[in-house]
A and B are shown apart, each in its own frame.
Chain A
């Protein structure tokens, strides 16, 4: 049982590049979320999904795109990377109202 798997663990991008952060869970959870963690800011919700085919925006969605074609996968796309998107990104999954299970994070630097 792998839980929530995030890839890559580290990534360096140049401004303007695009990339996709991968997230997969094997617990058949209907809820999945993406957060970014910045010093002193806690975790801020970027996008979330309550089931396959359903996504919605969180607190800080600008510059990011998501899709949920399967229950297991919830990729996060950076459309045109900016230095302000340098952060640690966490993916989480859960059943409704239950505690979230987090991945180990992706540390992203934008130069």
Chain B
């Protein structure tokens, strides 16, 4: 069974600074990887995904994540954050296995707090 560890529960950062939110996973088979964002009092929205192909994936609002199979990681990065990026970020993994459920497992979340 898969598992996800988000190493930081809270990441405070100043506006325009770079940020990295860390995510490690555990699985015995190939995986799909996702990052979701949750703004206050809202549901989760997909930020970016790795299904196959290029290990570096990007979102439309400047975030990127790199799938590192040897380190079983999928860290999320942004070179310059905005106040509006303040939100909860969730990493998720689902196993790509014949007969598997494909239902993702979520990490506990990282609260990104951007200060002016």
Q: Which of A97, A100, A104 contacts B96 (CB 8 A)?
A: A97
- B67 interface residue (CB < 8 Å to A): no
Q: Mark A14-31, 1 if CB is under 8 A from B, else 0.
A: 000000000000000001
**Does residue A82 face the partner (Cβ distance < 8 Å to B)?**
no
> Which residues of chain A come closer than 8 Å to B78, judged between CB atoms?
none
Are B44 and A102 in touch, CB under 8 angstroms?
yes
Q: A40 to chain B: which residues have CB within 8 Å?
A: 9, 108
| Nearest CB of A to B108, in Å | 4
- Chain A contact surface mostly: strand
Q: Which of A25-56 contact B (CB under 8 A)?
A: 31, 33, 35, 40-45, 48, 50, 56
Q: How large is the interface on A (under 10, 10 to 19, 20 to 34, 35 or more residues)?
A: 20 to 34
- Chain A: which residue is nearest B9 at the CB level? A40
Contact A103 B43 (CB under 8 A): yes
- Comparing B13-21, B79-87, B98-106, the segment that makes contact with chain A is B98-106
Could you say which of B34, B90, B101 contacts A42, with CB atoms under 8 Å apart? Answer: B90
Partner of A96, one of B9, B34, B42, B102: B102
Chain B residues within 8 Å of A31, by CB: 102-103
Other contacts beyond A42-B108, A99-B49: 11, CB < 8 A = A33-B103, A41-B108, A44-B106, A50-B101, A50-B102, A96-B102, A97-B51, A99-B34, A100-B46, A102-B43, A104-B42
**Sample (11) of A-B pairs whose CB atoms are under 8 Å apart:** A41-B108, A42-B106, A42-B107, A43-B44, A43-B106, A97-B32, A97-B96, A99-B46, A102-B43, A102-B45, A104-B42
Q: Chain A: residues with CB nearer than 8 A to chain B?
A: 31, 33, 35, 40-45, 48, 50, 56, 58, 90, 92, 96-100, 102-105
